[in-house]
Structure 1
Amino acid sequence: MSFKSILQDMKGEFGSISRKGFEGRFGRSRSHRVVEESMVTDVDAMRQSCWANMPPELLRDVLMRIEESDCDWPSRQNVVACSGVCRSWREIMKDIVRNLEVSGKITFPISVKQPGPRNILVQCFIKRNRSSQTYHLYLNYTQASNDNGKFLLAARRCRRPTYTDYIISLNAGDVSKTSSNNIGKLRSNFLGTKFTIFDAQPPNAGAKVTKSRSTRGPRRMQCVMDAIPVAAIEPGGIAPTQTAFIPGNFDSFPSLSFFRSKSTRSDSFQSGPLSTPKDEMLVLKNKTPRWHDQLQCWCLNFNGRVTVASVKNFQLVASLENGAGGQEQQHENVILQFGKVGKDIFTMDYQYPISAFQAFAICLSSFDTKIACE
């Protein structure tokens, strides 16, 4: 029996049960006796249902087969559908489905807050709507440029007199400031050179301060990941992984701060209380581009994921300040890359230890007006 026929069978059974209950409770006869009898009928029907009486071992085996066979979207929606059948099915699916770092599969909404897989870039793209000042993040189904993708997150730009907010939501149709679907926001300063990501989860340590001076060259970015220790990028390192959304005031917990300018070089990096190297925060910086003599421009290898030259294009890698002779070192692995492929379409690829939410917020900063950079 195919999964589609199973769902149709379940829908018919549960629908029949619900209709009986509806007619018994809200039919023409509203006596207490009729309601009582209909409730007994509902219970008997549920007991007779093959789905309610399925042995736990058999149910778990069926759900595991579904989870293993439906690896990619859109077929992976079957896994989500199973988790919505009832509480027991949901608990089993939550136990079966592994987090994004291990499985490499985006399944439930909480996946956007979990670190991506190691050594594999999750390929996404962003669609910009200039008129509504909204941005939608999608997961690529295939490598094709016309891939519609699976919706992940939405953001809306809200301009204030002294700063700009980007509200980030799980609902594409509701990105209002008071929406219950909001999971965080990005805020810029007046000049558009400093940004802070706000989350409902408290960071691991206090805020950081970066001093920089201007030099000649392309724009540069520095991201101080307050919630991720630098040890996370080492073999066996662990990054914090959320398992549920945490309600709260986004203004209370800045979880990541970073700086953008036309061209800056970090001169010093200060923090609050002294900590051991294992407890230091992860710092991401632009991968150093190379100058192309023939094209007369700065170039980076995006492996075909970027097709339009733009000042917004960037790649971020982990930066270490403790290199030989105190020189800064950069990891080769690209943790986040963002680039233009059309008038209002941009690719966004990310991997461990950052999440889709963090990557999306960082990329949103490229769309903001930068008075000090333009």
Structure 2
Amino acid sequence: MSLKSLIQDMRGEIGSISRKGFEVRLGYGLRSRSHRVVHDAVGPPPVDALKQSCWANMPPELLRDVLMRIEEAESLWPLRKDVVACAGVCRSWRDIMKEIVKTPELSGKLTFPISVKQPGPRDFPLQCFIKRNRAAQTYHLYLGLSQALTDNGKFLLAARKCRRPTCTDYLISLDADDMSKGSGTYIGKLRSNFLGTKFTVYDAQPPHAGAIVSKGRSTRIVGSKQVSPRVPAGNYPVAHIAYELNVLGSRGPRRMHCVMDSIPASAIEPGGVAPTPTEFLPSSLDSFPSIPFFRSKSSRSENLSGPFSSQKEGKLVLKNKAPRWHEQLQCWCLNFRGRVTVASVKNFQLVASEENGPAGQEHDKVILQFGKVGKDLFTMDYRYPISAFQAFAICLSSFDTKIACE
């Protein structure tokens, strides 16, 4: 039997297993009742069914070779769901997949939910877009499947705006249908001050070893129905965003300043390291609660075993790239390389600030860009050292009304 026919036969076997109990719903754009990675809709399949599968007893050497070829071949969604299906077959398959699948920094691919918390690629930006629903006050982040802005994309994250007397919260979730803070798919939030000029990004779990939780009434217990473990979640500050006041009403776009509390300034330098979580906290997700999908030799998480280095060195500071005034068009212009088509005060590009050290080539790279392409459609492109979660939260701050800045 050829390898090609073997893989095709194996995919058919995986499909039958998926239909019985492992319904793959990574959620990247799939409209369903839930956008979780793996949703057990009809109950788990019997253990004997998995043991009797011919693939569960495959020799490890052959299994590794087959799974490596699947991981390399299925590089784009929606076909990449086969990689997720392989990780859900049995323990041995999952262990091998944990070693094969690399972080977005190294592979440039978003595979499992933890990918949205890991830094993006170093060599190129990941192209995403945000859809806004004005009526429901919700925002959905999708990974672009092609250069065209008309594709549906693959769902990554969702956020819901909650107005409060003294501030505004944007609750961020892995589930497009459940964006409450009590949900098991809640991963963080963005909170603004009363004027909407200063924002704080909170992570629901520690972004690195030694992270300090912000005290507040909103701190909750994840998995409180369980006896053990009981893990506190919420209010770990990872970034602070400030918009410069425009008291005199001068012309020009907004000016913003981002301090990434969880990323050291050295991360933008060659060989620099940014925090790379390898797993969600126990019970922070309903599915695969504590599986470190990216605990592999290529992971740099071992460098973060001690207290975070930002306590000893400066934090990464980002600022918006200054636009230039176009005399013929009579407007402020930035080169978005065709990714932005509508002029808006919300458009911005973030680069490393001079506060991070002497200006160099690293300071010219656009780490995050956000721009308008339609009435309720915006592009979001990000790269190392920030994650999709951090980039999404920063972009959400641009949606908030800022009378004092315009």
TM-score range, shorter chain: 0.7 to 0.9
Give the superposition deviation at 1:297: 1.2
Match of 1:196 in 2: 200
Contact 2:259 / 2:316 at 8 angstroms: preserved in 1?
yes
Contact 1:112–1:355 (CA under 8 A) maintained in structure 2: yes
Equivalent of 1:241, from 260, 273, 276?
A: 276
Q: Which amino acid aligns with 1:308?
A: V
The match for 1:363 is 395
From 87, 92, 98, the equivalent of 1:88 is 92
Please state how far the C-alpha of 1:300 moved relative to its aligned partner: 0.2
Cα distance, 1:114–1:57 mapped onto 2, change above 3 Å:
same
The residue identity in structure 2 corresponding to 1:181 is T
Show the counterpart of 2:254: 219
- The answer to whether the 8 A contact 1:136-1:155 is kept is yes
Give 1:117-156 correspondences, 5 Å limit. Answer: 117-156=121-160
User: For 1:233-312, what aligned pairs fall within 5 Å after superposition?
Assistant: 233-246=268-281, 279-312=313-346
CA distance in 1, matches of 2:260, 2:386: 9
Alignment of 1:78-117 (within 5 A): 78-117=82-121
Distance 1:13-1:281 versus aligned 2 partners, 3 A rule: closer
Verify the 8 A CA contact 1:222 1:286 in the aligned structure 2.
Answer: yes
C-alpha distance in structure 1 between counterparts of 2:71 and 2:124, whole Å: 20
Q: Is the 8 A contact 1:336 1:348 kept in 2?
A: yes
1:205-264 superposed Cα distances (whole Å, 9 cap, x missing partner): 788898966573321110000000000000111111011123699xxxxxxxxxxxxxxx
Which string of whole-angstrom CA distances, capped at 9 and with x for unpartnered residues, describes residues 148-201 of structure 1? 111000000000000000000001111122111010000000100000000121
Measure how far apart 1:47 and its partner are: 5.5
Q: Contact 1:230–1:279 (CA<8 Å) still a contact in 2?
A: yes
SS of the equivalent of 1:331 reads helix
Q: TM-score, normalised by structure 2?
A: 0.73
Letter in 1 for 2:343: A
Moved more, 207-216 or 298-307: 207-216
Inter-partner Cα distance in structure 1 for 2:356 and 2:17: 64
- After superposition, residues 317-332 of structure 1 pair within 5 angstroms as 317-321=351-355, 331-332=363-364
TM-score, normalised to structure 1's length? Answer: 0.79
Shift of 1:5: 3.7
Contact 1:127 1:135 in 2 (8 A): yes
The one-letter code of the counterpart of 2:374 is G
- Indicate the larger mover: 142-151 or 308-317: 142-151
RMSD: 3.1
Paired amino acid for 2:401: T
Q: Specify whether residues 308 and 245 from structure 1 end up closer, same or farther in structure 2 by C-alpha distance, changes over 3 A only.
A: same
- How many corresponding residue pairs? 323
Q: 5 Å matches for 1:2-21? A: 3-10=7-14, 12=16
Instruction: Select the structure that is richer in strand.
Output: 1
Which is worse superposed, 301-310 or 55-64?
55-64
Q: Letter of the 2:388 partner, please give it.
A: A
CA contact 2:316–2:356 (8 Å) conserved in 1: no
Q: One-letter code of the match for 1:240?
A: P
Alignment of 1:15-30 (within 5 A): none
Q: 1:205 to 1:283 in 2, by over 3 A?
A: farther
Within 2, Cα distance between the matches of 1:76 and 1:337? 26
CA distance in 2, matches of 1:241, 1:318: 20
Q: Which runs of 5+ in 2 are unaligned?
A: 22-45, 213-236, 285-308
Structure (1 or 2) with the larger CA radius of gyration: 1
Query: Which deviates the most, 76-85 or 345-354?
Result: 76-85
2:320 alignment partner AA: N
Contact 1:168/1:184, CA 8 A, preserved across alignment: yes
Higher helix share: 1
Structure 2: how far apart are the matches of 1:276 and 1:136?
31
Cα distance in 1 between the residues matched to 2:255 and 2:140: 25
Contact 2:190 2:393 in 1 (8 A): yes
How far apart are residue 133 of structure 1 and its match?
0.5
Cα displacement (A) at 1:332? 0.9
DSSP-derived class of the 1:364 partner: helix
Matched, 1:165 2:169: yes
| Shift in alpha-carbon separation, 1:48–1:151, aligned structure 2, 3 A | closer
Distance in 1 (CA, whole Å) between partners of 2:355 and 2:361 is 6
Question: SS in structure 1 opposite 2:389?
Answer: helix
Q: Which residue of 2 aligns with 1:339?
A: 371
Question: Cα offset for 1:12?
Answer: 4.9
SS in structure 1 opposite 2:366?
strand
Taking a change above 3 Å as real, the CA distance of residues 364 and 102 of structure 1, as seen in their structure-2 partners, is: same
Whole-Å Cα distance in 1 between the matches of residues 383 and 17 of structure 2?
43
Structure 1 residues 334 and 82: alpha-carbon distance in aligned structure 2, compared to 1, 3 A threshold: same
- AA partner of residue 201 (structure 1): P
Question: Structure 2 CA distance, aligned partners of 1:4 and 1:51?
Answer: 13
Q: Is the 8 A contact 1:320 1:329 kept in 2?
A: no
AA partner of residue 220 (structure 1): R
| Residues 50-97 of structure 1, C-alpha deviations (whole Å, 9 max, x = no match) | 212211111111100100111111111110111111121111101110
In structure 2, what is the Cα distance between the partners aligned to 1:238 and 1:231?
7
